[in-house]
Structure 1
Amino acid sequence: MTMPAGDVLVAAPPSLHRLGLVAILRETWPTVVIRVLPGPDQLLVLLTQQRFALVIADATISSCLLPQLQQLRTHGLCPQLLVLTGRHQPLAVRHCLAQTGYPLLSRHASPTEVIQCVSGLLCPPDASSHYPTPTRRRVEPPTPFSRRELEVLRLVIADCCNQEIADRLFLSVRTVESHRRALLQKTGAKTLVGLVVQAMREGWVAA
């Protein structure tokens, strides 16, 4: 199929979640250039200089992103923009994000939901050319995770350190480290980055 011109920009702080998201996009659309902007606070400046087929902006951390989104909408600088939101964002912030008019997607959405949403923005139904939308199937890990291991995995993807995971789950740091080792062994991943990419790609941490 003919691919529309333009790169995809992911504006999100460095994190394991961003690595997983970019990996999903690159695996799904290998011929599309995926660019990364480490600081969402620079988004407005960049979009005055360059156009993208789609921008995916993470609004879960950057406090300066909301006014930028409002300016982008006012000046029509970015017609195709997807905003990632978090579970625990204040209601007022979520309301303001909705008021920008840009589509919102939970940061904890499954890979299938991410791909469907991105495909819908890149290729509206009446478009003559579009990105192919693959059918993704949830693949279970080689060895099933326990409920506690899944809880630890979700917090690892949320960029929590061992102490933060221990505090949230009321565990000792040593127990958290044990769960992380078990996750690596069960998946065959060699690093935490590899574990996160694999977990997001296969949908193991879908909300």
Structure 2
Amino acid sequence: MCAFKTEVLIVASPTLHRQGLLAVLHETWPTLPITVLPEATLLPQLVQQQSYAVVVLDCSLLTEPVPAVLKRLQTVRSAQPVLLLTSSRLPPDLRHYLAEAPATCSWLPLQAAPSAVAALFHRLLPDYHPEKAASAAPAPRVRVPATPFSRRELEVLRLVVQDHCNQEIADQLFLSVRTVESHRRALLQKAGAKTLVGLAVQAVQQGWVSSQGLPGTC
């Protein structure tokens, strides 16, 4: 039997609604690994590289018809569960697609309460038991990854992947906002990334930090 995939990918713009959803999920499943992307450009690439327990997709981010994106995801990973957050009045093409879509595709209104999304997660993650995962998982041994970054830059990178803003990073690391901005510029330059989204994806892929923003473990 294949190991159950527990990582969740949330593709949604940085709004209070997304923050509320993250807060509810962290409260309900404290050990659930969550990766957050503020745009959908890299979604097919990430799904091709690995499967997720659930992909939560804010359809308002898409610049092409939702069915076209879903068909592309099915092409790269046919059994990938997807939860769409869309308008309460579904477009005809999406309604038709969902009527014939596999059971792995679900949807909720974009402004559904975060608690409603969490309730649906109970059905989407029936095999995930956080208390067992926490007790069974050995305590990770933290190491300094082989990267071009300084220890302080890695601390900033960890918080960037966790979707913290400059002020929040400054508060947690007891730095000025200007210093945080300087570290971010250095991270982008050293990683050869053009955007923070690209930096975050590269950081997870290269193992510089885990998908939860923790330092790489061995």
Give the aligned residue type for 1:105.
L
2-structure distance, mates of 1:95, 1:15:
29
Pairing of 1:43-82 with structure 2 (within 5 A): 43-64=43-64, 65-82=66-83
Change (3 A) 1:98 1:14: farther
Which of residues 118, 121, 125 in structure 1 aligns to 2:124?
121
CA distance in 2, matches of 1:104, 1:93: 10
Measure the CA separation in 2 of the matches of 1:17 and 1:56: 13
Q: Distance in 1 between matches of 2:116 and 2:49?
A: 30
- Structure 1 residue 46: Cα displacement: 0.9
Q: 1:76 to 1:63 in 2, by over 3 A?
A: same
- Conservation of the 8 A alpha-carbon contact between 2:40 and 2:61: no
CA distance 1:75–1:5, change in 2 (3 Å):
closer
1:89 to partner: Cα distance: 4.7
Residues matched between the structures, number:
126
Partner of 1:32: 32
- TM-score of the pair, normalised by structure 2: 0.49
Query: 2:17 touches 2:111 (CA, 8 Å); kept in 1?
Result: no
- Aligned-pair CA distance for 1:104: 1.2
Question: One-letter code of the match for 2:120?
Answer: C
Q: Which amino acid aligns with 1:56?
A: V
Give the partner amino acid of 2:109. Answer: S
- Asked whether the equivalents of residues 24 and 111 of structure 1 are also in contact (C-alpha less than 8 Å), the reply is yes
Shift of 1:120: 0.4
Aligned amino acid, residue 125 of structure 2: L
Unmatched runs of 5 consecutive residues or more in structure 2: 132-218
- 8 Å Cα contact 1:56/1:84 also seen in 2: yes
Is this contact kept in 2: 1:72–1:78, CA < 8 A?
no
- AA in 2 matched with 1:116: A
1:43–1:68: 8 Å Cα contact kept in structure 2?
no
Query: Using a 3 Å threshold, how does the CA distance of structure 1 residues 118 and 47 change in structure 2: closer, same or farther?
Result: same
Q: Which residue of 2 aligns with 1:10?
A: 10
Tell me how far 1:94 sits from its aligned partner: 3.5
| Contact map agreement 1:57 1:84 (CA 8 A) in 2 | yes
Deviations 1:169-204 (A, max 9, x none): xxxxxxxxxxxxxxxxxxxxxxxxxxxxxxxxxxxx
Contact 1:98 1:104 in 2 (8 A): no
2:49 partner SS: coil
Partner residue of 1:103 out of 103, 106, 119: 106
| RMSD, aligned CA | 2.7
